[in-house]
Structure 1
Amino acid sequence: MEAVKLSPEERIRMNAQAAKGLMHILVAQLVLLVVVTLLTGLIAGLMPMISAFAGGMAYLLPSALVIMQMLMRLYAGTNAAASSLFIAEGIKIGGTIALLILLVKFAGEVIVWPALLVGLISVMKGYVLLLLFKKI
């Protein structure tokens, strides 16, 4: 099977579309984090709000780092391999687990677990917001 040859213009256009999609994912995750954090604060109070924010950030930070790494690869012009995507996902999952462990270690007694899980899951499902607005 022969590799597809792209012209420089096609490669630039595809890279721009990929970068735009990556940024849409990050913005959707951030919007959901803000909305869920504010709603949790209005409904349940300060500590649940902080817990929801911490849960969302535990996923958003590794996700942002992986997206930044992907954007650097896009603009550097290096070819993306499927294995690099799996490695990036592994780093994102590992980073999220590490941040959750740190949360438990340093704030385990004050964490409101249902709120933390709501924050975490809402940011993880940020792509649903993109599907609703047909950005994917």
Structure 2
Amino acid sequence: MDWQQGKTPQLVLTDADRLAIKKRASTGIMRTLVAQAVMLVAAVAGSWIVAGSYAALSALLGGLAYLLPNSLFALRLLLGVIGPVSTSPITFFVGEAFKLGSAVGILGLAVWLGQGWLVWPAMLIGLLCVLKGYVLLLVFRKLP
């Protein structure tokens, strides 16, 4: 009873335990990306049906503004989970900052380049759908 004497008990993982943790983490990352992509397709299709091709393109830009940086961040996390690249909390926070900064930059670029045809509600719906892609995982009970 080390915990009663003020000592923290050591957690010992076997190689099989480590492999199972890595598999679960990588599966969760991939499921999240797929769910976000499915939500983006739904947003683009819905925007196209309701408001036409400019709205669909706007929804696509809005969704890709977050999906692309998030995919790069997920790739980096996957390399840390299954590859030889080590990860640390600093790596996570730098990656998160890069992801958010890139998303803001892409949105700004889309607004600047699409001044004449950008459909703001559709772009925001595309962004929101990708941001909330994990809701699909909740609905289908596939959260890792």
Name the TM tier (shorter chain).
over 0.9
Query: In structure 1, how many angstroms separate the alpha carbons of the residues matched to 2:23 and 2:33?
Result: 16
Q: Within the alignment, does 1:22 sit opposite 2:32 as a pair?
A: no
TM-score for the superposition, normalised by structure 2: 0.87
Select which of 60, 69, 82 maps to 2:67. Answer: 60
Please name the residue that 1:105 is paired with.
Answer: 112
Q: TM-score scaled by structure 1?
A: 0.92
What SS is found at the alignment partner of 1:51? Answer: helix
Aligned pairs (5 A) from 1:29-44: 29-44=36-51
Give the structure 2 partner of residue 48 of structure 1: 55
SS of 1:5's equivalent in the other structure is coil
Deviations 1:58-97 (A, max 9, x none): 0100010000110111112555433322222211101101
Q: CA deviation at 1:106?
A: 1.7
The percentage of counterpart residues that share the same residue type is 36
Amino acid at match of 1:81: S
Larger Rg belongs to: 2
1:93 aligned residue (78, 95, 100):
100
Deviations 1:6-44 (A, max 9, x none): 211111110000000000000000000001100110111
Task: Give the total of aligned pairs.
Answer: 136
Tell me, yes or no, if structure 1 residue 125 matches structure 2 residue 135.
no
Q: 2:20 pairs with 13, 16, 35, which one?
A: 13
Distance in 2, Cα, partners of 1:93 & 1:50: 21
Structure 1: tracts of 5 or more residues without a match:
none
1:117 counterpart SS class? helix
